Amino acid sequence: MKRLVMFLAVLFLALPILASAQEQATDTPKEFGVYSDKNAKTNHFIPSGWMGDYGDIKMNDQSADNPHGGTTSIQFIYSAKKTQNQGWAGVYWQNPANNWGNKKGGFDLSGMNKLTFWARGLKGGEVIQKVMVGGIKGTYPDTAAVEMGPIELTDTWKQYTVNLAGRDVSYINGGFGWATNADLNPEGATFYIDDIKFESDPALKPESKKQEALPFYVFSDRSSARNHFIPSGWMGDYGDIKYEGASKEDPYLGDTCIKVIYNGLKAQGSGWAGIFWQNPANNWGTVDGGFDLSKATKLTFWARGLKGGERIEEFKVGGIMGEFSDSDSAVIGPVILEKEWKQYSIDLKGKDMSYIIGGFCWSANVDNNPEGATFYLDEIKYE
């Protein structure tokens, strides 16, 4: 039934004259286009949802520079200038244009079980933090929210797939989207996307999370595609925290490290604060995400305090509880930081690390840091 509705919707939009197409519904369509060429009739979504530092984005939706198929591809130039002071930017393909879930639109894509697209970077090495299918909320929310990434582009066309098997795609308004940030692309990025489409692939099975290979980084370096979790879960007195993801103050390894300034002023009246590194961002167990880190036996990280003596109550992995809970948790603490870099380790032996959305976390309080605490973290990884 859903398929029928979807098919009717397609026909209605594409060929409004052919109103009575009921008998054709028996043929299940094999694909459904998002974008193929400028003005192609199979383009069903519009790249209208510009997000974050939208002023950093330039789009040419009829770039004739070496398209993958047809005559054009879409070129994006992301300047990473943080025009809107966000540090990140992205674009959603929506239907109708600019639909952030406030009006009915979208398509019933039941029957489709993957989205494919082609992409290349101008130079190679450009990093797209993630691509999205669905995930637009609002009054008319998408029925699925699937993310994939990060992707490090090459200078030649390459096809990428987002597995949608087992997902409810009966209402999708955000047909496709990408997002990236200035940390991953400090000098900006120019890249091309082409031939974005939903497909039906009878052989495709629902994605079971593959066991990630080790080492698996929570944070390596600010522009590293190896960073898998996002420091989005600010807790307690979040107003007391200043987070610098790319501090150049004596990183342990690489160009940058994380600097955290916790001022202990109790902005929200809690007396403590902390940050969870999550996947996807802001996932408090509400969406399916995370990684299978079953092979990991420990999480290691390097840390130092600005003065030495800063007390971190807990360093933790996992422990987020919700509809999609972490499969386990492990904690060390309290830890008194030293002025010099020191490696710490959280023992994961015997722990169930098969589903981890909260990759790393610290928390500190004002009771033990009356003057606040400034500290640095680097090379946070599962081993």
- Contacts with another protein by CB under 8 A lie at 267-269, 311, 313-314, 318-319, 321, 325, 327-331, 333-334, 347, 349-352, 367-370
Q: What minimum distance in Å lies between the beta carbon of 146 and another protein? A: 23
* Closer to another protein by Cβ: residue 70 or 334: 334
Q: What minimum distance in Å lies between the beta carbon of 37 and another protein? A: 48
* Closer to another protein by Cβ: residue 7 or 355: 355
Q: What minimum distance in Å lies between the beta carbon of 353 and another protein? A: 9
Q: What minimum distance in Å lies between the beta carbon of 269 and another protein? A: 4
Number of other residues whose CB lies within 10 A of the CB of residue 130: 19
* Closer to another protein by Cβ: residue 125 or 333: 333
- Report CA-CA distances (Å) from 196 to 78, 117, 134: 20, 4, 14
Q: What minimum distance in Å lies between the beta carbon of 234 and another protein? A: 14
Distance CA(105)–CA(339), nearest Å, equals 56
Q: What are the strands of the beta sheet with 145-148, ordered from one edge?
A: 46-52, 88-94, 174-181, 130-134, 145-148
Q: What minimum distance in Å lies between the beta carbon of 239 and another protein? A: 9
Q: What minimum distance in Å lies between the beta carbon of 329 and another protein? A: 5
* Closer to another protein by Cβ: residue 90 or 318: 318
* Closer to another protein by Cβ: residue 163 or 327: 327
Distance CA(49)–CA(212), nearest Å, equals 32
* Closer to another protein by Cβ: residue 61 or 328: 328
Token pair in block for residue 181: 């940030």
Q: Which amino acid is at 172?
A: I
Q: What minimum distance in Å lies between the beta carbon of 272 and another protein? A: 9
Q: What minimum distance in Å lies between the beta carbon of 348 and another protein? A: 8
Q: What minimum distance in Å lies between the beta carbon of 375 and another protein? A: 16
* Closer to another protein by Cβ: residue 130 or 351: 351
* Closer to another protein by Cβ: residue 84 or 294: 294
* Closer to another protein by Cβ: residue 211 or 268: 268
* Closer to another protein by Cβ: residue 278 or 369: 369
HEC secondary structure over the chain: CHHHHHHHHHHHHHCCCCCCCHHHHHCCCCEEEEECCCCCCCCCCEEEEEEECHHHEEEEEEECCCCCCCCCEEEEEECCCCCCCCCEEEEEEECCCCCCCCCCCCECCCCCCEEEEEEEECCCCCEECEEEEECCCCCCCCCCEEEECCEECCCCCEEEEEECCCCCCCCECEEEEEEEECCCCCCCEEEEEEEEEEECCCCCCCCCCCECCCCEEEECCCCCCCCCCEEEEEEECHHHEEEEEEECCCCCCCCCEEEEEECCCCCCCCCEEEEEEECCCCCCCCCCCCEECCCCCEEEEEEEECCCCCEECEEEEECCCCCCCCCCEEEECCEECCCCCEEEEEECCCCCCCCECEEEEEEEECCCCCCCEEEEEEEEEEC
